[in-house]
Amino acid sequence: MRHRILEPLLATDNLALLFNAYLRGLSTFDMVTAPRETMRECNAAFAREAAGDKPKLSIVDQARRYYELTVLSNSLHSLHRSVVGALALLEDFLKIYQADLTAYAVANRLRSIDEWGSDDESDWEPDGFDEKGQKWKVAYKDDPTSLAPYSLHHELAAFFNGHDTRGEYIGTSHPSDFAVYSHAVATQTELSLRKMFSHGFKQDLTIYGQQADGQMLPLSLADQIEDELNEDIVNSSLVDEFNAVLYKCEELGQIYEEMAPDNLPLYVQLCGWLSKIVREIPRFEPPKGFIAD
């Protein structure tokens, strides 16, 4: 049975590290919301709630959380892919095409039609003969009407609005849309192993910490509390950075939607902003692990 839904991003850039740290902060949610019922138990639980018998642990609420966490995980993967993809496209535009919007559109049109074809006969012109007869090649065009579907602005739509397909893209969600789970990440020590086990078994749990020499030694309660306080500070900063990325993506999404397709300086700025999101945000490393007795 597949329990884990918060799959980490495989990339190693700073944005991926931030998103992975955020996902790790939801590991307890991941564990408690994963379905473990048989089909018989699942159907019976939904039927009881539909009949008005709502238990202490609602399967409807649990199902909603599981679905939301699935969407959240998919969203972070998609948003990362969109930010990195838009950045790569803009950097290629600046480096390969020397920030020439027409040169980019001309080359993109020729490449796209050559790969995917075109039903417009004017897009093709004779290119000599071979053993099979007449050969054809993509006709060169540089008029605005022909280049519009191949412009840089049009290609960036795949990362800013997905060409109207569903899913998460740059600017499609606001920090408030993640508020419930961001609060859980910021306050994740409230669901620490020490607190959960101590509450469940009515006794203190021995927690071990790794020393500088690699030796594992028991931590005093004071040390455990201090570690949790330090983690709270880190977790709060993590959520602040996560929200800052979403705010900036929302701003960039609005800029993209409103910009003139031929606004060259704005493309340069977009590239710089996206680069900062991917490469300059703080690195959030995995927290130091503890072993419980």
In a domain, 161, yes or no: yes
Q: What is the pLDDT of residue 128?
A: 76
Number of structural domains found in the chain: 1
Distance from C-alpha of 282 to C-alpha of 15, rounded to nearest angstrom: 9
Take residue 238 and report the two structure tokens written for it: 């993590």
Q: What is the pLDDT of residue 135?
A: 78
Q: Which residue's structure tokens are 């902003």?
A: 273
Cβ proximity of 178 and 188 under 8 Å: no
Return the half-sphere exposure (C-beta side, CA atoms, 13 A cut-off) of residue 243.
17
Task: Name the percent of the chain in helix, strand, coil, to the closest 5.
Answer: 65, 10, 30
Take residue 12 and report the two structure tokens written for it: 């190693």
In a domain, 125, yes or no: yes
In a domain, 284, yes or no: yes
In a domain, 8, yes or no: no
In a domain, 47, yes or no: yes
In a domain, 37, yes or no: yes
Tens digit of each residue's pLDDT, the chain (293 residues): 455 688 999 999 999 999 999 999 998 877 777 888 899 999 999 999 999 888 888 899 999 999 999 999 999 999 999 999 999 999 999 999 999 999 999 999 999 998 998 888 888 888 677 777 777 888 899 999 999 999 999 999 999 987 667 889 999 999 999 999 999 999 887 655 555 544 444 555 555 555 566 666 555 444 444 455 456 667 888 999 999 999 999 999 999 999 999 999 999 999 999 999 999 877 665 544 433 33
Cα-atom radius of gyration of the chain, to the nearest Å? 26
Q: How many helices (H) and strands (E) does the chain have?
A: 11, 5
Kind plus residue range of the DSSP H or E element containing 190: none
Per DSSP, 189 falls in state: G
- What residues are paired with 209 via a beta bridge? 217
In a domain, 143, yes or no: yes
Q: What angle do CA 157, 149, 102 make, to 5 degrees?
A: 100
Take residue 14 and report the two structure tokens written for it: 């700073």
Cβ proximity of 186 and 235 under 8 Å: yes
Cβ proximity of 234 and 287 under 8 Å: yes
Q: What is the pLDDT of residue 201?
A: 47
Cβ proximity of 242 and 18 under 8 Å: yes
Q: How many CB atoms lie within 10 A of CB 34?
A: 15
In a domain, 4, yes or no: no
* DSSP per residue, 109-161: HHHHHHHH--S-GGGEEEEEEETTEEEEEEPP--SHHHHGGGSHHHHHHHHHT
Kind plus residue range of the DSSP H or E element containing 209: strand 207-210
Which range marks the domain in which residue 270 is found?
14-292
